[in-house]
Amino acid sequence: MKRVRCPKCDNYITFDETKYTAGQSLVFQCPECGKQFGIRIGVSKLRDTQKVENNVESPDEEAHYGFITVIENVFHYKQVIPLRMGDNVIGRYQKGNPINTPFETVDPSVDLNHCTLNISRDKKGRLRYTLRDNNSNTGTFVDNVEIPPRERRIIEDGTLFTIGATSIILKTNENEA
């Protein structure tokens, strides 16, 4: 089952994608607001839109230094988002939001610019992952302990951290670490 979001009211409509072929166009009418909109199966314009808005190169052109997995919850499905060297500003996706690591959610407790995961190399050349809260309204937690304002926490592969009511797991590139 796939979900599409109404562009007018953000209501989700669920449909069975196995009944359609890649490249096929579908038209939906939102039961909440009556808006008609179309999609094409197998082609995600939203991901391309996010890349254009945030000036992100295609995955083939950019090296990735691990991933964060936004765990499936009542607000949205599981998402895997690649990380890059330097600051990865994590928060809720909204059109026009300039952060470079957005994820889709309607969780009201996740800020648009919630926290930053910095990736750098230590003196021995190993990757180092440092998490900090960006003065969010609900805080950033590692192992159920809140990161105080202006404090940084070094995290490792498999670390579970929570922003708002959403849990995220860090997965590092083992061959780079």
Residue 177 confidence (pLDDT): 44
pLDDT, one tens digit per residue, over 80-139 is 999 999 999 999 998 888 999 999 888 899 999 999 999 999 999 999 999 999 999 999
Please state, in angstroms and as integers, the Cα–Cα distance from residue 42 to each residue in 49, 98, 154, 165, following that order.
Answer: 15, 26, 38, 30
Residue 60 confidence (pLDDT): 42
The pLDDT of residue 56 is above 70: no
pLDDT, one tens digit per residue, over 1-26 is 788 888 888 888 888 888 888 778 88
Residue 158 phi/psi, 5° resolution?
Answer: 85, 0
Instruction: Domain ranges for the chain, please list them.
Output: 2-43, 58-171
Residue 23 near residue 40, CB atoms below 8 Å: yes
Q: Provide the CATH number for the domain formed by 58-171 in this structure.
A: 2.60.200.20
Which of 56-65, 80-89, 166-175 has the weakest average pLDDT?
Answer: 56-65
Q: How far apart are CA 23 and CA 42, in angstroms?
A: 6
The pLDDT of residue 31 is above 60: yes
Look at residues 172, 165, 171, 170 and name the one whose alpha carbon lies nearest to residue 72: 165
Specify the pTM: 0.65
Residue 57 near residue 82, CB atoms below 8 Å: no
Angle at 37 between CA 31 and CA 40, to 5 degrees: 120
Residue 74 confidence (pLDDT): 72
